[in-house]
Amino acid sequence: MKIPFRDRLKLGPILCDGAMGTLLDLYEYDELPHEIQNIKNPDIVERLHCEYIEAGSEIIETNTFSANRFRLADYHLEDKIREINLAGVEIARRAAGDKVYVAGAVGPTGKLMEPIGKVKRQQVRDAFKEQVEYLLEGGIDLIMLETFVSIQELDEAIEAVKSLTNIPLIAQKAFAEDGSILAGNYPIEVVEHIIEKGVDIVGANCTIGPQRMFGIIRNLHKEGIYLVAQPAAGIPTLQDGRSIYHTSPEYLATYARELVQSGVTIIGACCGSTPAHIRAIRDAIKDVQVKRGDIKSSANPSTDGRLVPLEAEKELQYDAEKFRKSKFARNIGKKVLTTVELDIPRGVDMRKVIEGAQKCYELGVDAVNITDGARARLRMSPVAVSQLIMQKVGIETITHFTARDKNLLALQADLLGSHALGIKNLLCITGDPANIGDYPQARSVFDVDSIGLIRAVSSMNRGVDLLGHTIGEPTSFLIACAANPLAADMDFEIERLEKKAEAGAEIIFTQPLYELKTLEDFIKRIEVLNLPLMVGVLPLRSYKHTDFLHNEVPGMIIPEKIREKIRNAGSDAAKVGIELSKEFIKEATQFVQGIYMMPPFGKYNVVSELMEVIR
């Protein structure tokens, strides 16, 4: 008969099991999600549990890691949440008998929570509560929260469990395979944070191998707190779409022994491990006792060498001059700033773009706007175009940066690369969906929208990435956002603009406007944001051009009286269009911090006429 789990913790090291998904793949039961095998092939799941028990596991985890409503919905299995979880517990209990503990395995939702993503915290907490209720109904001995990358999501999972039960709770964070992160104070801060939540056992699992896991755990000791460590079997390689792990049972067992000697009570393994790994660990730890003591760290606390926020909203103050803000950013509020949007052609020949930038430079324009494949058209990367212009002309750029095409990893990597190339001004936009553009079969990514992208840039300006991992020296981007003062749903537009400001936006660029009243009404609505404003100006060239913009371009509304003037102008429409824009600029400059000019069809001679009323 097994004794109560909390009593068992006091008696020394406990061996957990290894990977379930790895074994199912090896046995060629690789249908996803792996949890569907609880229903389709319960015998094979039970067999794998028994193999781990025979190898020495005193705890086995239910095959329910991904059995929450969000992950199951990806496979259209949301109606089987209860069935899958109850079956997972039943199978594990049948294999465990009365000697082995059954841990209800709970993994993350796989979704980004607000404020980075769109899923609300309460939705995430409700999903965890739902799954845990079913696991409890099945009769588990303890809960094991594992492989949580986001500390905020782990918080929600912990709160969900504690609102339902007082059974033993294990909480494990997955740390990045990054030497600078693991060498700093961040793992220690995370563990302390989780301890404060009142869990029984805290530690780490997955993503990192045994050596890096040992590097984290050896510095963590606290009286009355039990530690858990379940490293992956090294770093996988991809073969025929399957992750293949190469760490031998003997190697993993060597570090497992050292982990136990360093204070770990519960030891196991994660991705890539098999019963052979667990058997080797069993033999390696059989005569080792757990060490405990006060929590300590060999790292030197320093905001330069550690991850700065555990709290998602923690802010660091920084001096704009110290961190080399752009000249454009430094001039906000000191003059009426001017920018010109350049027309980026297809292909690699950027000579006309360079010529346009040169013209703007000679006219005294402060910066040029480089778009990112508007309407999902294939164009050269705006980062590359921006760097060419800065290198060949010397004028600053406002580089449009979209969230459409890249996942969070690639977005942040490109932000770092952009900063290294000297790009300092970013206009963060969501981007048009790929299916309306040149490649309708291409997939849009949209891990985040413009608000999440702004938050990522703002985080880097504080020296950390979106998850709080240090990037060393902070970036120094000016963060611009877009707004449409003539949006069909202005309440929604203002709400999003407020979120952009909260996320870190520092200046607003608007869609083209033609009436002062529209601008004045918009300024009144955003007064509380206290953000500088660059108003868009697009001179009309002809009635056909006007008609197209008004009727076919999303977000564009040209007042009837303006359209009538252009219609009546006939062959002089282009001249009238410029005069209308000049009149608007004269009136608008008393209310805004700058003018964002969009010369149609690459007609950069228009800029010189508009600049006459700005100087």
Q: Does residue 610 carry a pLDDT above 90?
A: yes
Side-chain-side CA neighbours of 597 within 13 Å: the count stands at 35
Q: What's the fold here for domain 5-285?
A: TIM Barrel (3.20.20)
Secondary structure of 47-84 in the HEC alphabet? HHHHHHHHHCCCEEECCCCCCCHHHHHCCCCHHHHHHH
Reduced to 3 states, what is the DSSP secondary structure of residue 376? helix
Residue boundaries of the structural domains of the chain = 5-285, 340-541+577-611
Encoded amino acid at 559, one letter = P
Say how far apart CA 390 and CA 317 lie, in whole Å. Answer: 29
Residue 544 neighbours by CB under 8 Å, 6+ apart: none
More confident of the two residues 39 and 114: 39
Q: Each residue of 482-499: pLDDT tens digit?
A: 999 999 899 999 999 999
Percent of the chain at pLDDT exceeding 90:
69
Which of 56, 17, 13 shows the shortest CA–CA distance to 266? Answer: 13
Which of 444, 432, 362 shows the shortest CA–CA distance to 405? Answer: 444
Q: With bands split at pLDDT 50, 70 and 90, how would you rate the model's confidence at 324?
A: confident
What pTM did the predictor assign?
Answer: 0.75
Say how far apart CA 100 and CA 97 lie, in whole Å. Answer: 6
Helices (H) and strands (E) in the chain, counts: 24, 18
Is 237 exposed, middle or buried (CB count within 10 Å of its CB: 0-12, 13-18, 19+)? exposed
Q: Each residue of 409-460: pLDDT tens digit?
A: 999 999 999 999 999 999 999 988 877 777 777 888 888 899 999 999 999 9
pLDDT given at position 305: 33
pLDDT given at position 187: 76
More confident of the two residues 299 and 10: 10
Say how far apart CA 431 and CA 400 lie, in whole Å. Answer: 10
Q: Residue 212: enclosing H or E segment and its boundaries? A: helix 210-217
Bridge partner list, 201: 170, 226
Q: With bands split at pLDDT 50, 70 and 90, how would you rate the model's confidence at 262?
A: confident
More confident of the two residues 96 and 466: 96
One fold for both 5-285 and 340-541+577-611? yes
Q: With bands split at pLDDT 50, 70 and 90, how would you rate the model's confidence at 218?
A: confident
Say how far apart CA 92 and CA 140 lie, in whole Å. Answer: 9
Tallying the residues shown for the chain, one arrives at 615
pLDDT given at position 238: 61
pLDDT given at position 437: 74
Say how far apart CA 532 and CA 505 lie, in whole Å. Answer: 10
Rounded alpha-carbon distances, angstroms, from residue 360 to 208, 518, 539, 611: 51, 28, 16, 10
Q: Are 525 and 596 in contact (CB under 8 A)?
A: no
Encoded amino acid at 126, one letter = D
Q: What is the mean pLDDT of residues 497-510?
A: 96
Say how far apart CA 143 and CA 165 lie, in whole Å. Answer: 10
- What are the backbone angles phi and psi of residue 431, rounded to the nearest 5°? 100, 145
Say how far apart CA 257 and CA 214 lie, in whole Å. Answer: 10
Q: Each residue of 135-151: pLDDT tens digit?
A: 999 999 999 999 998 88
Q: What's the fold here for domain 340-541+577-611?
A: TIM Barrel (3.20.20)
Q: What is the mean pLDDT of residues 240-267?
A: 86
Query: What is the C-alpha R_g of the chain?
Result: 29
More confident of the two residues 173 and 290: 173
pLDDT given at position 300: 35
Q: Does residue 301 carry a pLDDT above 70?
A: no
Which of 360, 341, 415, 348 shows the shortest CA–CA distance to 388? Answer: 348
Among 79-93, 457-471, 523-537, which stretch is predicted with the lowest mean pLDDT?
457-471
Identity of the highest mean pLDDT range in 121-125, 369-373, 545-549: 121-125
pLDDT given at position 86: 98
Q: What is the mean pLDDT of residues 560-566?
A: 93
CA-based max dimension of the chain: 96
Q: What is the mean pLDDT of residues 90-104?
A: 97
Q: Does residue 186 carry a pLDDT above 80?
A: no
pLDDT given at position 161: 97
More confident of the two residues 19 and 298: 19
Which of 426, 443, 428 shows the shortest CA–CA distance to 376? Answer: 443
Give residue for tokens 């390689």.
237
Q: What is the mean pLDDT of residues 601-615?
A: 88
Say how far apart CA 181 and CA 187 lie, in whole Å. Answer: 8
> Checking DSSP bridges between strand 396-402 and strand 533-537, what pairing results, if any?
unpaired
pLDDT given at position 445: 83
As a whole number, the mean pLDDT across the chain is 88
Q: With bands split at pLDDT 50, 70 and 90, how would you rate the model's confidence at 291?
A: low
Chain Cα centroid distance, residue 172: 20
List of E strands, 460-552: 478-483, 507-512, 533-537
Percent of the chain at pLDDT exceeding 70:
90
Side-chain-side CA neighbours of 457 within 13 Å: the count stands at 37
pLDDT given at position 313: 37
pLDDT given at position 331: 96
pLDDT given at position 395: 97
Q: What is the mean pLDDT of residues 193-203?
A: 90
pLDDT given at position 435: 76
Q: With bands split at pLDDT 50, 70 and 90, how would you rate the model's confidence at 182?
A: low
Q: Does residue 154 carry a pLDDT above 50?
A: yes
Q: Are 22 and 242 in contact (CB under 8 A)?
A: no
pLDDT given at position 521: 96
Helix ranges restricted to H, 139-199: 151-162, 179-183, 186-196
pLDDT given at position 222: 62
Q: What is the mean pLDDT of residues 291-298?
A: 42
Task: Enter the DSSP assignment of 227.
Answer: E
Q: Quick one: tokens of 245?
A: 């792990």
